[in-house]
A = this chain, B = another copy of it.
Amino acid sequence: MGKCARHPERETRFQCLKHGTWMCEECLSCRDPELYCKNRSACPIWFIEKRRKRLQKEEQAAAALSRCRVTFEPSGKVVETVAGSSLLEAAAAADVHLNASCNGKGLCGKCKLVVASGNIESEPSALLSDDEIRKGYVLACQSRVTGDAVVRIPEETLERKLKVAGMGREATGRLQGLVAATEPMLREIPLDLSPPTIEDAVSDLDRLNRGLKRQDCDIEKLNVGIAVMRQLAEVMRESRWKVTASVVRRRCFNELLEVRPGNGTEPSLGLAIDVGTTTIVVYLVDMADGSVRAAASGHNRQAACGDDVINRIICAEKDGVQKLSGMALATINGLIGEALDSAGAHVRQVKNAVVAGNTVMTHLLLQIEPRYIRRAPYIPTVAEFPILKAGDIGLKAHPAAAVFVMPGPASFVGGDIVAGMLFAGFHREAPLTLFIDVGTNGEIVLGNREWLMTAACSAGPAFEGGGIRWGMRAEQGAIEKVVIHPGTLEPELATVGDEPPRGICGSGMIDLISELLSVGIIDRSGRFAADLNHARVRKVRDEWAYVLASAEQTPAGEDIVFTESDLKNLIYSKGAIYAGFTTLLKEAGLDFAGVERVLISGGFGQYLDIEKAVRIGLLPDIDRAKFHYLGNSSIAGAYLALISEAHRREARDICHNMTYIDFSSNPSYMDEFTSALFLPHTNLEMFPNVVRTGARGAGVVA
C-alpha cells in the first residue's frame, strides 16, 4: 500500500511497476500520462493487481509488431530486437562479441560486419573502403535494424585476432604441419551396443566395458567415477544403446570421463591457453584436423593485484588464492567465450585443453599455494600435474574436458618456457642455443640435445608495457617501429594495424631507445640532454621526456611521451636479461663465441629490430644471422601439446632434463647486472660491432 502521488490523502494498492509511482483508482482510470509517472513524460505504464496482466498483454502485442530477428553468422546465433536498435546493441544482446573501441561512436571502425541479407539501414562511413562497401560491409554501431536480417562476422577478423594473439593464420598453419598425427588426450569412442535380454543381463557398466574392449580400450586400466555411473542407465537407454564414451589417457591409467547419448560424430574442440602474467591468449582448435578455428587475447585481470608475479603472490597471501584464481579464470573464460562465439561453437564441444603459464600463474589458476615460491629456497608446490578435469578447476569447457598443464621445472622457470621450447625444438638438435623469453620476467635456457640449463632474471614487465607510462602490448595502435630524424629530431612511427597511435609496445621501445641514443637525445647512462631546446624534448611532470605523438594525433587526445623514468625501467630490464646471459654462460664455462643460435620469444611485437636490440645492449653483439625471433612461443607450444601426445610426453621430458641455476644466490649475477646498466654496456669491449659500425651513433657511443 502507498499514498497516491497526486492525492496523498488516499491510500492505494496500485503502483507503476516500472517507476514505482503510486496512484489511486481515479488517477489510474483516467490514464493521463501526466498523472502517472513523474519520472518520464510518456511512461509505458504497468500496474500491479488486475491491470497488470492486461497491460502486459497489450505491451507484448505492441512489441511483437516491431520485433526483428537478427541472425549472426557463422555462429548462427539469433536475437530478437526492437526495430530501430543498432546492430551493435543486437550483437551485445546475442552475446556476440564485437570489438568496439570507440564505444559505438563510429570512430574506430572495428565493429565491421557484412550484411548477408535483410533490412539494415547504415550510415555511410569513411572508415569503409569502396571494396568493403561493395562487399556489404557496414559498421555495426552505425547500422539500424529495420526488419529481420542475417549478418556475418567477416573472415579477416580471425586473421587479425590470430595476429594479436601471437601469430597469424599462415604461422598457425605452419604449426599444424609440425604434428604428424593429431592425438587428443580425450579419446571419443562411438559404440553400438546390443540391448540387454534375460539371457544377456549384465549390468549397464559391464555392457559398456564390453563395447569399449572391442574398440581396443584397455578396460583393465579404466577407472570410472561415481558421476558417470549415476548418469549411465539413462544415457544408454535414451539413445537406444548407441553411445559415445570419452576416455582420457593418463600416465598410468585411463579414465572414463563421460558417456553421452548417440554415437554420431560431433566436432570436438580443444583450447590452447597461454596464461601470461600480463596477457592471456586462447586458441580454439578443431581436434579433428588441428586447424585454429578462433583466437582471442586480453589482459590478465590479476593485473589489478600488481604487475609482477611477486606482487600476485603477496596479494594471494593477503586475500586468498581463490581471488587470484577467480581473476585469471574470469579473463580466460571470457576469452574462451569470445572464441566460441566467433567460431559459432558450443562450450560442451570443448573436450581438451592445454594451459601454459609460468609457475606462479599455474599455481594461482589452480588455487595451489604459491607463497613458498617467493621465499628462499623458492619451492613450487607442484611442478608436474596429472591431467585435470575442466570442471574441477573452473575452466569454461565441457566439465569432463581433459586439461593438460604444462610442467614447469622451477619456481621461476615455468610451463610457458617448456611450451616455448616445444615449439623452438632446439632441445632436439645439436647447435648450442640460447633461448630467451622476455615477458613479464626474463627466462633463459642454454643448451642443446645434450644438456639444458635454465635460469630466470627479474627483468620486470617493462617490455610488455608494465611500468612504462604509455607502454602497452603489441595490440592495434601500438607504436612498434620508431625512426628519429637526426636533423629534425622528428619521429617516424609505425603502429600495429596502421591505426592512430595509442601507446608503445616492446619493439617500439627498443627502436626508440636506440634512436634516442643515436641522435643524442639521451646519453649512455640514460640521462636526457637538457640543452636541446626542442619541442619534442621537454619536461613532463618534472622529468625529461620525448614526445612521440601529439595530442591531436592520438585517439586519447593526449601526448604520447617517453620519460626518463620509463628509460630507467627499461635499462634495468635489459640489464637484468643481459646479465642473465653472461652469468648462465659463465656457469656453463662458455662465452658468447660458443653460442650458435639465439632464439627470442616474448611479447615485443611483430617487428623486433635485432640490430637496435643489440645497440641498446639487450642482445649480445654477435653475428646477426644467429638471431631468430619466435613471437609468442608459449601459445605455439601449448597448441602442439594440445593436438599431439608426443609433444605432451616431450614436455615432461624437457622438464626433467633441465638444470636450474638460481641467480638469487649467485654473487656474480649482481656484478654482471650492475655492469649492464649502461647503453649498451659498461664494458664496450663486449660490443665491438656496435662501436665500430655505429655510424650515426658513433659519437654517442664513443
Seen from chain A, the residues whose Cβ lies within 8 Å of a Cβ on chain B are: 196-198, 200-206, 220-226, 229-234, 237, 250-253, 366-369, 371-372, 376-386, 388, 392-393, 410-411, 660, 662, 665
Contacts and interface: CB of A to CB of B under 8 A. Distances in A.
A201 to B, nearest CB: 5
A253 B369 CA distance: 26
A381 B252 contact: no
Contacts of A230: 366-369
Contact of A232 (B369, B376, B377, B378): B369
B381 A205 contact: yes
From A366, A367, A380, A410, name the one whose CB has the most chain B CB atoms within 10 angstroms. A380
Given A203-B383, A204-B382, A377-B197, A250 B223 contact: yes
The secondary structure that dominates the A interface is loop
B203 A381 contact: yes
A221 B381 CA distance: 20
A379 B204 contact: yes
B377 A201 contact: yes
B233 A381 contact: yes
A665 B200 CA distance: 13
Contact of A233 (B232, B234, B372, B385): B372
Contacts of A203: 379-384
Contact of A224 (B234, B386, B410): B386
Copies in the complex: 2
Contact of A253 (B196, B252, B392): B252
A223 B201 contact: no
Contacts of A252: 220-223, 252-253
A242 to B, nearest CB: 17
A315 to B, nearest CB: 17
A636 B665 CA distance: 62
A198 B386 CA distance: 26
Nearest to A218: B252
B226 A392 contact: yes
B226 A388 contact: yes
A368 B233 contact: yes
15 contacts: A196-B379, A198-B376, A198-B377, A203-B381, A223-B252, A225-B392, A226-B367, A226-B368, A229-B368, A230-B366, A230-B367, A230-B369, A232-B381, A233-B368, A233-B381
A233 B198 contact: no
A-B pairs with lowest CB-CB distance, top 8: A233-B369, A203-B383, A253-B253, A221-B252, A233-B381, A198-B377, A205-B382, A203-B380
Contacts of A224: 386
